[in-house]
């Protein structure tokens, strides 16, 4: 795991929300590692996992459709702001 700035982590998560992403799983953690946000790619869908303020999983269809991609990116942004409201740096773990 490495420590990166929040803006870089947000752009990394938004890019991972697309179907052309090189990563299969990306996990972001706070400094205390008590809250996390993960994005996993399966063959048929993309799963957004929040652990912290909300403990919920959101599934999106893995289609090249621009509407689905926009919905996924929007959900990632909202979850990111909810889980890391005052963070300046986050830990990132990425699997290809």
pLDDT digits (tens, 9 = 90+) for 58-72: 998 877 677 888 898
Q: What is the pTM of this model?
A: 0.86
Check: CB of residue 16 under 8 Å from CB of residue 77. no
Mean pLDDT in residue range 54-61: 89
Check: CB of residue 45 under 8 Å from CB of residue 59. yes
Q: How many independent structural domains does the chain possess?
A: 1
Nearest alpha-carbon partner for 17 in 87, 77, 89: 77
Q: CATH number, domain at 86?
A: 3.30.1490
Using the predicted structure, report yes or no on whether residue 48 has a pLDDT greater than 80: yes
Could you list the residue range(s) of the whole structural domain that residue 79 is in?
Answer: 2-95
């Amino acid at each position: 795991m490495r420590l990166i700035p929040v803006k870089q982590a947000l752009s990394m998560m938004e890019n991972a929300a697309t179907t052309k992403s090189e990563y299969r799983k990306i996990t972001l953690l706070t400094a205390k590692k008590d809250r996390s946000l993960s994005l996993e790619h399966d063959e048929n869908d993309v799963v957004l996992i929040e652990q912290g303020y909300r403990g919920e999983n959101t599934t999106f269809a893995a289609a090249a459709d621009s509407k689905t991609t926009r919905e996924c990116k929007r959900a990632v942004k909202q979850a990111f702001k909810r889980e890391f409201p005052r963070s300046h740096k986050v830990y990132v773990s990425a699997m290809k």
